[in-house]
Structures are given as C-alpha cells and as structure tokens.
C-alpha cells in the first residue's frame, strides 16, 4: 500500500515542479508590448491554450526583462523565457495580424505563431492515475479490514465459513482451576481423569487406556458447566477452543458444516487440545424444529 502512496506523492511532486520551475508567467499586455517592439524571436502555441515566448538574445538585456529570472537570461538556453495564456486561438490570430501590421510599418520581421499539439504527460498521469491509486489504496484497506479475522469488521463477508472459536493457549492462558469451582465434586472427579490423561498420557496408554472422545456436561443454566470446562483447560495446560453451539447455525446451507470442519482442522494442528462447545443443544435438537426461524440445521 505504501508503494501506491509514494507513487502518488511522486506524481504530485512532478506536477508542483512543473508550476514552480520553467518559463516565467507573462500577461497578455506584456506579450503585446514585446511583440510590437520586435523583441520576440519565436512564438509557440501549445495545445491552443498557452504560448511559449522566446525573446531575442539582444533584447534580454533591455529594461523590459529586468524581472526575468537569471537562469532564463542565458543566451545559449533553448528554453522559452515566458509563457502566456492565449485564451481563444482565433483572438490570438487577430491580435497577431494587428501586431504584424505595426511591425511592417517599422520594417521589422513578421511574427508567426507555431502550433504544437503536445501531450501533457504529467497532467495526464495526475488526472487519471492518481484517482486510480487512491481507489486501489482504499480497496486494499477495506480488504485488509474485512479479512482481518473472524472477529474483525466485515468478517461476516469473507470469513463466513471460518470457525468463530476463541483459542486459549500459552499466550492467553486460562487462569481457572478446580479450586475456583465450588461443589460439583463428583463431576470434578470425572474430568480430573481427563486432565491427568492429558498431563501423563504414557501412564494410561501403557495399560491400553484411551482418553474419552468427549465429555457431556448437562445441567440447568448457572450450575457451573462452562466454569468446569475452563477449569479443565486451566489444569491441563492444553490449548482450549471455546465456541457457542449457536455459531454453527446459519441461514446459509453449508456454513455450519464448514465451521465445524475448520474448527477441527485447527484443533488437529494444536493437538492434544480441548474443544468446548457451549449450548450444544442449539445444534443437537431434533431436526426441523427451528426451520421456521430461518436458520439452517445441518
């Protein structure tokens, strides 16, 4: 993104350099005065908008050009000394006819305008490329914010099939132990075996023991099911994925299944670990009961 910003600043710098350097600005009155005095050697009209004025070498030292920048007074320079806005080209031609009539009376060389349809590449780049760069920069910012994870702004669009599970690992430890869980002695005894298996797997595998595939915590709200699950993760020191069952129920077909696959893919990468699904009854109910609400039960 910074590359596009630097390119844009470079183009702006070129445009500013164009206005800061180069020929000196002249008024129409000054142009006519110099032309009638026969001081102009050459007149080049650029894109029918402005005219470059080349002053004769012997006229550069006259008082008429005292205010001219010193670098433009170099007689060997091939650059124009002045630039003037001509307005309408037809008006310029009429003005030149009147000037040439005056020069003819004084037996001076006729002044003829050369027309040069140049392309202003700097202006073209700034006009067309700069808005494009701004658009690309804004689009990259939007993409970065929308793709910044399941909890970031706009993640519903780009990460709709990604798991919304919160991971607690070594960087974000669960500071909850069984001592924080009041009561539930029998339930704690059961899950303590799971914790001991995670801490000392060889103790059980050497005897042919296998860890349970899962533990179902059942009870009314507020009885400590979630706290007990977090205590298991805190005691075991294993990565702990926490997610709500309602996150698997979506309006669109396939989203829930995609999130389940993504969750278990992450769990396999962190194995051994614990996956805690809160309110699993949201996805474990009988099929068809929630169809009226618009959610897709897969």
Residue after which a domain boundary falls, among 96, 121, 146: 121
| The total number of structural domains that make up the chain | 2
pLDDT confidence tier of residue 125, bands split at 50, 70 and 90? low
Question: Which residue among 121, 142, 167 closes a domain?
Answer: 121
Check whether residue 57 and residue 174 sit in a common domain: no
Residue 257 falls inside a structural domain: yes
More confidently predicted of 175 and 93:
93
Average pLDDT, the chain: 76
Do 162 and 277 belong together in one domain? Answer: yes
Greater confidence, 126 or 65?
A: 65
* pLDDT for 138 beyond 80: yes
78 and 187 together in one domain: no
Residues 103, 181 share a domain? no
Span 204-220, pLDDT tens digits: 888 888 877 788 888 88
pLDDT at 173: 66
- Is residue 127 domain-resident? no
Other residues' Cβ atoms within 10 Å of the Cβ of residue 204: 14
Q: Are residues 104 and 167 in the same domain?
A: no
Q: Is 137 part of a structural domain of the chain?
A: no
- 274 and 210 in one domain? yes
Q: Say whether both 183 and 287 belong to one domain.
A: yes
In a domain, 98, yes or no: yes
pLDDT band at 149 (very low <50, low <70, confident <90, very high): very low
Q: Does residue 129 lie in a domain region? A: no
Q: Is 146 a member of any domain?
A: no
Minimum mean pLDDT among 9-18, 93-102, 148-157: which range?
Answer: 148-157
Q: Any idea what the CATH number is for the domain that residue 90 is in? A: 3.40.1690.20
Query: Is residue 69 domain-resident?
Result: yes
Tell me: do 172 and 261 sit in the same domain: yes
β-pair type (113-116, 166-168): unpaired
Domain that holds residue 113: 2-121
Residue 110 lies in a domain: yes
**pTM beyond 0.85, yes or no:** no
Residues 6+ apart with CB under 8 A from 275: 165, 241, 243, 263, 264, 267
Same-domain check for residues 186 and 278: yes
CATH of the domain at 247: 3.40.50.300
């Amino acid at each position: 993104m910074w590359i596009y910003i630097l390119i844009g600043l470079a183009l702006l710098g070129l445009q500013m350099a164009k206005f800061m350097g180069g020929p000196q600005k002249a008024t129409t009155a000054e142009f006519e005065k110099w032309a009638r005095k026969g001081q102009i050697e050459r007149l080049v009209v650029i894109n029918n908008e402005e005219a470059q004025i080349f002053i004769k070498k012997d006229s550069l030292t006259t008082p008429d050009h005292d205010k001219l920048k010193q670098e433009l007074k170099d007689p060997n320079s091939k650059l124009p000394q002045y630039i003037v806005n001509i307005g309408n080209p037809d008006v310029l031609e009429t003005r030149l006819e009147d000037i040439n009539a005056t020069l003819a009376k004084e037996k001076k060389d006729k002044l003829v305008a050369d027309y040069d349809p140049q392309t202003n590449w700097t202006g073209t780049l700034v006009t067309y490329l700069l808005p494009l760069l701004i658009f690309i920069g804004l689009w990259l910012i939007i993409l970065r914010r929308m793709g910044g994870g399941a909890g970031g702004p706009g993640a519903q669009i780009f990460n709709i099939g990604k798991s919304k599970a919160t991971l607690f690992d070594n960087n974000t430890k669960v500071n909850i132990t069984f001592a924080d869980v009041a009561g539930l002695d029998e339930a704690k005894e059961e899950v303590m075996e799971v914790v001991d298996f995670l801490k000392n797997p060889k103790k059980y595998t050497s005897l042919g023991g296998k860890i349970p595939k899962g533990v179902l915590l059942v009870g009314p709200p507020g009885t400590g099911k979630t706290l007990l699950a977090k205590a298991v993760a805190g005691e075991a020191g294993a990565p702990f994925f926490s997610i709500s069952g309602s996150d698997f129920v979506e309006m669109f077909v396939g989203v829930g299944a995609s999130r389940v696959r993504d969750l278990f893919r992450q769990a396999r990468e962190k194995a051994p670990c614990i996956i805690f699904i809160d309110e699993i009854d949201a996805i474990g109910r009988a099929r068809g009961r929630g169809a009226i609400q618009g959610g897709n039960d897969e």
